[in-house]
A and B are shown apart, each in its own frame.
Chain A
Amino acid sequence: MTRPLAGIRIADFTVHNAGPFATHLLSQLGAEVIKIESAMRPDAFRKPHPVYGRMGPATFDQVASTKLSVRINLKLPKGVALAKRLVAISDVAAESFRPGVLDRLGLGYAVLQQVKQDIVLLAVSSSGQYGPDKHFAGYAPLFGAWGGLSDLTGYEDGPPVEMRHVMDHTVGMNAAVAVLAALHRRDASGEGGLVDVSAREVASSFLGEALLLAAAGGEPRRMGNDHPRMAPHGVYPALGEDQWVSIAVASDAEWQALAQIIGVDDVRFASEAERHASRHELEVLVGRWTVTLSADAAAEQLQAAGIAAHASWNTVSLTSDPHLRTRRALVTVQEPDGKERAAVGVPMRLSKGADIGIHRGTPKLGEHEDYVYGELLGMTKAERLALEDEEVIY
């Protein structure tokens, strides 16, 4: 068994969600990811975020898993010098500051290239490394707003809907793909590269077809759970409070199977076009049947008849699902203090890489300095203590 990115080292300056999720995925595939923070400026996601109404940290445990943690105070010249030493022994450097910040720190791409000629620099930002809006501050809901994804999401007669953490994390997954592509080129040509991932552009990539339609003069708009072709298509009430089942009927044959199950015999619904035109009426008819069953029972019965359906699951259902556990899409991670928690795995199974995934829980700030500073950089204890006294390793 081989972890495919074994031997790849990443100096990880990313914070918050999007960037750290990229390096989190790469760490699960075998890359050695060294997370760089300082006590003065720990990753903001180590801290509570009251605006969410939440007093604990956000996704820090998830995305910091399997990473190594070291402290560097980048405000001091010696801290910058130490960071360069780490980059010099890395294949990839990753950052998610606002564009320009890395340059101001003295760690811009040109500088890093001098330190490591074939370095791949991943730069994740809200609007990209250049362009008139490059300095814009942003978070997931803003990416979705700028990129058009939120405008197209929501009830037809309601406001746009905010994108949340899925937006950050998909930016991270896109970025992880881009890093691997850049590493392939490096291996082939010896050239590194700057990988510029703009979160708002990632948001836009999810409406490529609607943007193309708009370019042709169309006016795509949000349409709730409607599908432009399929009907019935939606989320229907199931037995119990706030229980729902999603159903999508993709063909006439599937409709006939559904009609039989729900006891509807009406020639008006024979063709897809007719069903689509009558979709509001159909919604009521389907809902009358779904509301008599638990969401999972309804989905199972429909799947047995060849119809795409799934219960609307909350995290209780997700974390107890045997299918997701079998696939290791959901795993249990043990923290150093012995506490166990559910976490998502890397979303793939490799026939020759069964050992991919999370290997360690959340690192404590600076937990891996013996290995990183001692073994990898060959620093003496005295040298490290001196840097600690000077608040460089801090």
Chain B
Amino acid sequence: MNAPLTGFHIAVHASGVAAAYAGRMLGGMGAEVVLIEPPQGSPLRQEPPFLPELGQTKKPLPFRSFGLDGPRQSKSSPGDWTTRNWVGGGVCPLDATSRGTTDPTPTPPLKGRGLGTSALFAYLTAGASSTVCDLQTDDGCAALTAILSECDIFIDDTPLASREALGLDEAAIAARHPDLIHVSILPFGAIGEKAHWKGEEINLQHASGEGYLLPNGLSVEQFPDRPPVKIHGHFAEMQGGIAAALGALAALRVRGEIGGQYVDISSQDAMLSVGAFAIQRFGDGSVEHRVERSFRYGGVLPCKDGFVELLTLEQRQWDGLVELLGRPEWAEDPALADSLERSRRGPELNRHIRAWAKSRKVEDIVREGQKLSVPLAKYNTPAEVLRDPHERVRGLFQPVEVQGAGLLDMLISPIQFDSGTGML
């Protein structure tokens, strides 16, 4: 069977992660994605982390060394890449004819200003093609109009104040393209008191409530006075991207009846929606706080050689845990058969569980625990996720030619259709 969005065409004009990820997600499900870039390239090309140059890939390098510890040129050079080039590469073993691999034009440089290839840009744009449209010029605007006239969905994150001058405002797009699904993604949306506010990832995590609630568990226990800590990477912005994909596909379903429409996405809204739990708790009369948002027992367990996560929600899982612990005397206390009593005595239980875990190896605990159906997981590093035999079988990673960095295993898609791996 075809990838589900085969035949749909999407144009993405993105300077931020949210809009780019919306395109990436739809592209991963089979849509044809074209990036609309200014002559100097999308600012995402300049975003760290950067990949090591080709030929240096075996040398282990710390994360930060791809950051800005070296000099950064202040002025960008004009892009020397031509239009309709393939951006992130994209090898598609399942359906090699779909796109990318047969294009005769040279691959454009992904490089930032002398900084190397952006891993972020490569991940977010894999499988897409790129076209330069200088929207400051009439020719550029005409080129965009021509592209949009053949597209089903347009995803744009241009700040509100700049849209009209570039012909990217809601009314102008609707007038020219009545059947287009026009998706606007901004940190705080296109309507409302904060529509003009700037928001980077860290701001969005705190504007949506989750930032205030992290860290939890062992981390906040160890560092109760430190400022809250953010979730890695671009979690909130990517929620905006996922919500945009949802809105775009929903609007597309009724296009035949009511034509195109404007979909207004706010990354703050999207991040808030996945934080629904804290809002429900508020409705129930309690204000969540990171210090109290810890499991009564279990959670992050330091082991001899790393960390495991333990979470037993059901009685049979607790029974399995007692078995795993070797039926120690404290755990056989009949009072602990009651889950409410376990909750009350959580810290006491945790002292025992932590003492037990400390002298044991992660792999041993996980192996024995899973046999007893105790929910346990190893805290995997990225390198361990890449090597994970489970993900190898599922084809989560596939080799993708990344310009300037060579053939690299890239995460394709967390969603599979028809028991086949995703595609780029």
Q: Which B residues touch A197, using CB under 8 A?
A: 414-416
- A121 → B minimal CB distance (Å): 10
Mark contacts of A345-360 with chain B using CB atoms, 8 A cut-off: 1 yes-contact digit, 0 otherwise: 1111111110000000
Question: Which listed residue (B192, B258, B382) contacts A327, Cβ 8 A?
Answer: B192
Is the beta-carbon distance between B274 and A173 smaller than 8 angstroms? Answer: yes
Q: Which residue of B lies closest to A182 (CB)?
A: B4
A151 CA to B377 CA, complexed, in Å: 12
The interface residues of chain A, by DSSP majority, are classed as mixed
Which of A35-43, A68-76, A300-308, A383-391 interfaces with chain B?
A300-308
CB of B97 closer than 8 Å to a CB of A:
no
Q: Which residue of A lies closest to B292 (CB)?
A: A53
Is the beta-carbon distance between A21 and B300 smaller than 8 angstroms? Answer: no
Is the beta-carbon distance between B288 and A314 smaller than 8 angstroms? Answer: yes
Q: Which 4 A-B pairs have the closest CB atoms?
A: A341-B283, A248-B200, A50-B343, A228-B67
A225 CA to B229 CA, complexed, in Å: 6
A197 CA to B283 CA, complexed, in Å: 30
Q: Which residue of B lies closest to A221 (CB)?
A: B63
CB of A380 closer than 8 Å to a CB of B:
no
- B206 → A minimal CB distance (Å): 4
Q: Which A residues touch B317, using CB under 8 A?
A: 137
Known: A218-B61, A308-B203, A323-B188. A178 touches B276 (CB 8 A): no
Q: Which residue of A lies closest to B72 (CB)?
A: A273
The interface residues of chain B, by DSSP majority, are classed as mixed
CB of A246 closer than 8 Å to a CB of B:
yes
- B169 → A minimal CB distance (Å): 13
CB of B114 closer than 8 Å to a CB of A:
no
Which of A79-87, A160-168, A260-268, A371-379 interfaces with chain B?
A160-168
Known: A189-B1, A216-B408. A350 touches B251 (CB 8 A): yes
Known: A159-B222, A194-B419, A323-B193. A246 touches B243 (CB 8 A): no
Is the beta-carbon distance between A316 and B266 smaller than 8 angstroms? Answer: no
CB of A209 closer than 8 Å to a CB of B:
yes
Question: Which listed residue (B52, B187, B342) contacts A218, Cβ 8 A?
Answer: B52
Is the beta-carbon distance between B219 and A159 smaller than 8 angstroms? Answer: yes
CB of A170 closer than 8 Å to a CB of B:
yes
CB of B238 closer than 8 Å to a CB of A:
yes
Q: Which residue of A lies closest to B405 (CB)?
A: A216
Within 8 A of A (CB), among B163-217: 170, 187-194, 197-217
Is the beta-carbon distance between A342 and B282 smaller than 8 angstroms? Answer: yes
- A257 → B minimal CB distance (Å): 11
- A227 → B minimal CB distance (Å): 7
CB of A139 closer than 8 Å to a CB of B:
yes
Is the beta-carbon distance between B212 and A212 smaller than 8 angstroms? Answer: no
Q: Which A residues touch B295, using CB under 8 A?
A: 51-52, 141, 162
- B56 → A minimal CB distance (Å): 8
Q: Which B residues touch A114, using CB under 8 A?
A: none
A245 CA to B211 CA, complexed, in Å: 10
A56 CA to B373 CA, complexed, in Å: 26
CB of B127 closer than 8 Å to a CB of A:
no
Within 8 A of A (CB), among B365-424: 370, 373, 375-386, 388-391, 393-394, 396-397, 402, 405-406, 408-411, 413-419
Is the beta-carbon distance between B262 and A351 smaller than 8 angstroms? Answer: yes
A209 CA to B21 CA, complexed, in Å: 12
- B210 → A minimal CB distance (Å): 5
Question: Which listed residue (A21, A181, A193, A312) contacts B211, Cβ 8 A?
Answer: A312
A223 CA to B65 CA, complexed, in Å: 13
CB of A132 closer than 8 Å to a CB of B:
yes
Is the beta-carbon distance between B48 and A228 smaller than 8 angstroms? Answer: yes
